[in-house]
Structure 1
Amino acid sequence: MSDESGVAAVDRALQILAVFRADDYSLSLVQLAERTMLHKSTIIRLCESLIKAGYLVRIPDGSYQVGAKPLQLGAIFQRQFRTVEHVPPVLRELVASLNESASFYVPAGEGRICLHRVDARRMIRDAVKEGDWRPLGNGAAGTIILAFRGEKGAAFARARKEYWASSFGNEVDPELAAFSVPTFGLGSKLIGALSISGPGHRLQALGKSVLVPLLLDAARRLTMTFGGDSSVFPQS
């Protein structure tokens, strides 16, 4: 087997694994062919290799299930993963694109903590520091965290549907505004809220048509990095 054909085989094997979804009990050969657009003979051959390596199992009805090997790799990923290596570069990209400050909040009891922060180089900006605690009922990031915890109410339902939230004015400063999006990890677990914040008039000038697509793109990339399903986000 040439190097190129070997790489192609690996790509197709990974393509097979990638079409399994969280709500799939198993997938038949026909379903795998429909989802991958690969020939059935190719799928059968690659599935045999994946079974031998522990990535798939064949159950009595002939369909395929994900094996134990991905779970073992997932456990290694969870032990090794550190947000500090992945989130700040994304925040810096947002700040470079928008010239407004970017933050990453994680749930902390009945509140949220700013885990990572990159300030815009502007004289007037919101005064948020890494380690700051905020109540969940305050701001766009709080809305996102509550929404994806299942909080009831029209604002939370809208955030779950659209995958973003905004706030103009809060208890800290009525002149501030923020836009926020969720990020997810393995098993669709909410990891945190990614936010852009600054004076309300500046964010209004940028507009949601600029802010939301950039935030959603960043959320997709972080969600992929966290091991989550980036396909849940709406296409901007």
Structure 2
Amino acid sequence: MTRDGAESVERALNILRAFSETRREMSLTEISQSTGLYKSTVLRLTASLEACGFLQRGEDKLYRLGPELWRLGAIYRRGLDLGEFIRPVLRRLVDTTQESVSFYVRDGDERICLYRQNSPRAVRHHLEEGERLPLDRGAAGRVLRAYTAPKWPLGAQIREDGFYISLGERDADVAAASVPVIDNAGRLRGALSVSGLRSRFDTKAQHLAIEAMKMEAARLADHLPASD
């Protein structure tokens, strides 16, 4: 590509960058003022961007972002590895609780342990990523069920509380607490769970785990990419 060609690409990208949440539509003059480009240059570049679907020009002569950007954005979102957001959260929760921490998602009538950070303690609840567990037993399973099956009788109380604690439901020696992870669009993305030996998961430990998970879930809501 020649230097002139590269400059044209940069100028076209600057036109797209001129749009924002508070500036969703602009006239030719406004784009020129925002980018510092001559109107003749803006007219030429916007015609190319419009032809490729990156811009749309309405009957009111105002330019708006086009559907091609939505398509590329959807590809970008699907390509993001949620692990880059989830794994730091799991590590912080392990540091806080000293217990094992997991992130589960629902898959049909089961839940999958998508991400896991095991406790540093010698005696701990151990689980591998990718394992499938039931929805009807265990804290994370019940949380996922409560938020995906609105008519489930026990779901209303779990949704009102915003958490669930299980004591020996799936394994007599294991206790766990779980909270939902809900993004800013109101969609359930999964469930965080802290699990450990029932003998040391007393009221104080339960409260610590729930408060820490709720704080991390709220933080995740601001960072998780939108789901389709």
TM category, shorter: 0.5 to 0.7
Q: CA RMSD in A?
A: 3.5
Q: Which residue of 1 aligns with 2:34?
A: none
Q: Is the 8 A contact 2:100 2:117 kept in 1?
A: yes
Distance in structure 2 (CA, Å) of the matches to 1:74 and 1:220:
24
Distance 1:78 1:68, change over 3 A: same
The residue type paired with residue 145 of structure 2 is L
SS in structure 2 of the partner of residue 180 of structure 1:
strand
Distance in structure 2 (CA, Å) of the matches to 1:111 and 1:67:
40
How far did residue 89 of structure 1 move? Answer: 1.1
Distance in structure 1 (CA, Å) of the matches to 2:163 and 2:66:
35
Q: Which residue of 1 aligns with 2:224?
A: 226
**Structure 2 matches for 1:71-90, cutoff 5 A?**
71-72=70-71, 74-90=73-89
Q: Which residue of 2 aligns with 1:180?
A: 178
**Structure 2 matches for 1:101-180, cutoff 5 A?**
101-171=100-170, 173-180=171-178
SS in structure 2 of the partner of residue 225 of structure 1:
coil
Unaligned 5+ residue runs, structure 1? 1-9, 17-45, 61-65, 229-236
Q: Which residue of 2 aligns with 1:199?
A: 197
How far did residue 156 of structure 1 move? Answer: 1.1
- Residues matched between the structures, number: 183
Distance 1:77 1:144, change over 3 A: farther
Q: Is the 8 A contact 1:176 1:199 kept in 2?
A: yes
Distance 1:158 1:69, change over 3 A: farther
Deviations 1:110-132 (A, max 9, x none): 10111111011112211211111
Distance in structure 1 (CA, Å) of the matches to 2:151 and 2:175:
23
Distance in structure 1 (CA, Å) of the matches to 2:66 and 2:181:
26
Structure-2-length-normalised TM-score: 0.66
Structure 1 stretch displaced more, 151-160 or 131-140: 151-160
Distance in structure 2 (CA, Å) of the matches to 1:156 and 1:67:
41
Identity %: 33
The residue type paired with residue 94 of structure 1 is L
Distance 1:74 1:140, change over 3 A: farther
How far did residue 207 of structure 1 move? Answer: 3.7
The residue type paired with residue 105 of structure 1 is Y
Distance in structure 1 (CA, Å) of the matches to 2:224 and 2:132:
23
The residue type paired with residue 164 of structure 2 is A
Deviations 1:31-90 (A, max 9, x none): xxxxxxxxxxxxxxx5655997999xx9x9xxxxx9969855751442222112221111
Q: Which residue of 2 aligns with 1:231?
A: none
Distance in structure 2 (CA, Å) of the matches to 1:218 and 1:47:
32
Distance 1:47 1:97, change over 3 A: same
Q: Is the 8 A contact 1:112 1:134 kept in 2?
A: yes
Q: Is the 8 A contact 2:97 2:205 kept in 1?
A: no
How far did residue 224 of structure 1 move? Answer: 2.0
SS in structure 2 of the partner of residue 148 of structure 1:
helix
The residue type paired with residue 159 of structure 1 is I
Larger Cα-atom Rg: 2
Q: Which residue of 2 aligns with 1:214?
A: 212
How far did residue 176 of structure 1 move? Answer: 0.9
Unaligned 5+ residue runs, structure 2? 1-16, 32-45, 47-53
